[in-house]
Amino acid sequence: MNVLEQVGRAAVAQVEDAGALTMQFWSVLGKLPRVLPIVGSRRRWHSAVEQMFAIGASALPMTGAMSLCTGFILALQSASELRRFGAMEFVVNLVVIGFIRELGPLITALSVSGRSASAISAEIGTMLVTEEIDALRVMGLDPVEFTLAPKYLGALVTLPCLTILSTLCGILAGYLFLAVSVDMSLRIYLQAAASAILLRDVVFMLVKSQVFATIIVHVGCLEGLRVRGGPEAVGHAATAAVVKSTFLIILADLGATAIFYLMGWSSAA
């Protein structure tokens, strides 16, 4: 096989992945009302709540620790340069804007991707290998409604909440650094942080978290449904889910940031 054939096969595989993810996305949107409270099935809603704890609550310690460390590193690196120009007050703006626009959603998505994308893929892959998916179809149950929809709803609810908490941890780390280094009071830090926050930045952060949640759940489910073979295939699917979801998250973040820049939202006006 020559290089041209390899490139062609890779391109076709990427197009097939995009098509499969699109069809899966529209399929789960049609089943999502069945998972909602009151209007949907009680059992599906209970399953969605369990997924909220599995995806969100269990990821909070790791996500918070990552954001604290990243916020402290960002404040430390920026202060080492801004101190030369006597502009230490701009460290607050850099940390707050950096986490709200970029680092908060990205760190949260990457941490959840490493935990949940592999877990979702392994769970569905195991169900496929043990023929549980086929058993659901025989019993007249839709596998999308039974497996994918509760996970998707759980991610849609918990990932924005995790993103907000992650951003707050990063901003808190910036305060801890400035309190130790320049003895900045909490009141002054909060005033500077509040003046740097724009409503459109917060809205854009939440929209990005919804996009990242969609990528994580759908890539994990797609790779799980592609499992063929035994336990080794399940492991390969879990690895592929993490790699692909991480790449797509960074790609989506790049596209969102480019849109943000082209619309002129990078300025404070």
Q: How many CB atoms lie within 10 A of CB 265?
A: 15
Is residue 193 a contact partner of residue 92, using CB atoms and an 8 Å limit? yes
- Rounded to the nearest 10 degrees, the angle between the axes of helix 186-196 and helix 149-181 is 130
pLDDT at 41: 65
- Nearest CA among 251, 155, 134 for reference residue 210: 155
pLDDT at 269: 43
> What are the distances in angstroms from CA 184 to CA 93, 164, 167, 174?
14, 24, 20, 11
Output the six-digit token pair for 53.
């704890």
DSSP assignment, residue 267?
Answer: S
pLDDT at 141: 74
Which phi and psi angles does 182 have, rounded to 5°?
-120, 10
pTM of the entire predicted model: 0.86
Output the six-digit token pair for 62.
């790791």
Digit-by-digit pLDDT tens for the chain (269 residues) are 677 777 777 777 777 777 777 887 787 877 777 777 766 666 777 778 888 888 878 888 889 899 999 988 888 888 877 777 766 778 888 889 889 988 889 999 999 888 888 888 888 888 888 877 778 778 877 777 777 888 888 888 899 999 999 999 999 988 888 888 878 888 888 888 888 888 888 888 999 999 999 999 888 888 888 887 777 778 888 888 888 899 999 999 998 888 877 876 655 44
Collapsing DSSP to helix, strand or coil, 32 comes out as helix
Q: Count CA atoms within 13 Å of residue 45 on its CB side.
A: 9
Query: Tokens 């908490």 correspond to what residue?
Result: 165
Sequence ranges of the domains in the chain: 41-262
